[in-house]
Amino acid sequence: MPRFDHHVFVCTNERAAEDPKGSCARKGSGALQQHLKERCHQLGLKGRVRINNAGCLDACALGPSVVVYGAADPPEGVWYTLRTIEEVDRVIDQHLVGGRVVEELRQPRPA
């Protein structure tokens, strides 16, 4: 039995501004993760949803990268690009609470 309904990893890796790979932290992932944690706490999801920061998830060009793992999710997880607070809220409401993947925010599968 899984420990959490959903386990969410947010890439907060930061590279130098001049690094051509870019990084999720430079695209605002820290603030998005903070909002994710606070809103999940407000919704009483503590203990059911776990939010962790992560190092580089090797999807830098598609970031800010977030991956959600859950018992009802595909084994490889559900990978999202979340750029705004509104997009984070959509994932919380629809996926973490409602159990439905937000297809429009999914990252494309790597080739």
Query: Is residue 68 a contact point for ligand FES (CB under 6 A)?
Result: no
**Hey, what are 44's tokens?**
């009483």
Place of tokens 């899984």: 2
Edge-first strand order for the sheet with 6-11 is 49-54, 6-11, 65-70, 78-81
Query: Is residue 30 a contact point for ligand FES (CB under 6 A)?
Result: no
Query: Is residue 33 a contact point for ligand FES (CB under 6 A)?
Result: no
Nearer to ligand FES, 38 or 58 (CB): 58
Query: Is residue 57 a contact point for ligand FES (CB under 6 A)?
Result: yes
Phi-psi region of 53 (alpha: psi -120 to 50; beta: other; left: phi over 0): beta
User: Binders of ligand FES: how many residues, by CB under 6 A?
Assistant: 11
* Shortest distance, position 111 Cβ to ligand FES, whole Å: 16
End-to-end distance of the chain based on CA atoms, in angstroms?
Answer: 32
Binding segment for ligand FES (CB under 6 A), chosen from 52-60, 77-85, 90-98, 100-108, is 52-60
